[in-house]
Amino acid sequence: METQTVDVLVVGGGVMGCASAYHLAKDGRKVLLLEQFDLGHASGSSHGPSRIIRLVYDGVDYVQLARMAYELWQALEAEAGEPLIQQMGGLDFGAPEALAEFRATLLAAEVPFEELERGALMRRFPQFHLPEGSIGLYQPNYALLDADRCVACLAAQASRHGALVHANEQVRTLRPLADAVEVVTDKAVYRAEQLVLAAGAWMRKLLLTLDLDLPLSVRKEQVVYFRAPNREAYRPGRFPIFIQRFVGTTMLGAGFPIFGHQGVKLIIDRIGPLIEPDSADRAVHTQNLERVKAYAAELLPGLGEVIEATTCLYTMTPDEDFVLDRHPAYPQILIASPCSGHGFKFGVAIGRLLADLVGQRPVSQDISRFRLDRPALAVAQEQA
C-alpha cells in the first residue's frame, strides 16, 4: 500500500479526537482523523443526548479549564450556527463535609454560588426528598451540552476547515519512527510528524503496543431515564441539574432535567462492572439498574417508571484525573485520555490545548496534574 502523508494523525473520533482535529485544522494543519466505528457510535463514551458542564470542582485548575471550555463551546455554537449548550443552573448537595472542598474552591476561584440548608432547598425544589442533614450549593452557570450534536458539529467543522475524517477505519499498527509516526489500517498506511491518541476506552490497548502500560480501567456505567408524570416540574428552569456528593468516596448520584429525551436522566457513577472495550456486551447491568431505581424512588418520589436504560464506558485513572502528556519515549505522540467520567465538558478546550502542544506553543492552562509521571500513576503501576 502506498504511504499517505499528513501533518498530524488523530486516532479516535469521540469528543476529544474530533475537538483536536477541529482546532488543528483551524490552525492550518493537514490533519487526518481515524475512527474505528461510525462517527457518533454508541459503543464508547461520547454518545447520548446530554452531558453536564459546570464550574463546581475541587480544584481551581479544573475551574479555569471549565471556564475556557464554556467560552469555546459558545464560540463553536456561533461559528456553526448550532445550539449546543443550554444554561439552566445546578445543585450540588450532600453532608457538609462532602461539600467542604468544593465550597472552598468556589470561593478561591471567585465563582458565585448560593448555600442553602435542606429545608430551603426542598422549598425551592419540591421534587426532592433530601436526606437529613443535607446542605446544597446552587451554582447558576451549570449547563447541559447536547452531546451527540457537539461531536457531530466538531467533526463537521473540522472537515470544513480541511481535516480528513475517516470513519470505520481501525488502526492495526502504530510505528514510531525517528521523527514521525506511521499508522497502518486495513485500508492504507499513513505517516505524520505527530500523532494525537484520543482512543478513549481503547487507549490502554494501543499504548501497550508502544511499550507503555497505563493503569487504566474501563467500567460499564448505567444511564436510566424515568417518566415524569408532571413533566413541567422537571423542565429546565424548574428542575436543576444535580449532583449528590457522598463522604469518603468519589461515587456520586446525578440527575438531569428533561433535555433531548422524554425522560428524566439519572445515574449513579463509578459503580459499573469492569469491561474489556472490545467486548460486545453493552447490556444494562441488572443489579445497578435496580440500585438506580431505588435511588430515584427515595430521592425523587414523583417520578414514574423507567422509560429507557443504556450504558456508557468510563475509562478510569486511579486518581480520576486525566492524562494529557507526550509519550516518554516518543515525544511525537501525544496522549489524550480525559476520562474517568467527567471529561466530555472539557473536550473542546482540551482539543485546543492539544493543538497548541502539537504546535510547540505555550498552553493557556495549568495541566500539570495531568502529567504521566505523577505519583498516582506511578504507584498504581508499581502495584500492578
Q: What is the CATH number of the domain that holds 30?
A: 3.50.50.60
Q: Write down which residue in 316, 336, 366 finishes a domain.
A: 316
Residues 167 and 304 in one domain: no
- pLDDT class of 338 with cuts at 50, 70, 90: confident
Does the pLDDT of residue 167 top 80, yes or no? Answer: yes
Q: Residue 274: give the domain boundaries.
A: 90-140+217-316
Residues 226 and 250 in one domain: yes
Residues 119 and 38 in one domain: no
Residues 239 and 303 in one domain: yes
Residues 275 and 371 in one domain: no
Note whether residue 10 is domain-resident: yes
Residues 248 and 284 in one domain: yes
Grid cell in block for residue 24: 488543528
Residues 225 and 112 in one domain: yes
pLDDT at 384: 53
Report which of 277, 258, 276, 254 is spatially closest to residue 342, judged by C-alpha positions: 254
Residue 50 and residue 144 in contact, taking contact as beta carbons nearer than 8 Å: yes
Note whether residue 85 is domain-resident: no
User: Which amino acid is present at 169?
Assistant: E
Q: What is the CATH number of the domain that holds 257?
A: 3.30.9.10
Helix (H, G, I), strand (E, B) or coil at 114: strand
Report which of 97, 100, 93 is spatially closest to residue 121, judged by C-alpha positions: 93
What is the pTM for the complete model shown? 0.97
Q: Write down which residue in 281, 316, 351 finishes a domain.
A: 316
Note whether residue 70 is domain-resident: no
Residues 228 and 293 in one domain: yes
Residues 209 and 169 in one domain: yes
Give the pairing type, strands 241-245 and 252-256: antiparallel
Q: Write down which residue in 316, 335, 364 finishes a domain.
A: 316
Encode pLDDT of 174-225 as tens digits: 999 999 999 999 999 999 999 999 999 999 999 999 999 999 999 999 999 9
Residues 238 and 323 in one domain: no
Note whether residue 77 is domain-resident: no
Residues 223 and 308 in one domain: yes
Residues 12 and 161 in one domain: yes
Note whether residue 52 is domain-resident: no
Q: How many structural domains are present in the chain? A: 2
- pLDDT class of 339 with cuts at 50, 70, 90: confident
Encode pLDDT of 42-78 as tens digits: 999 999 999 999 999 999 999 999 999 999 999 999 9
Note whether residue 379 is domain-resident: yes
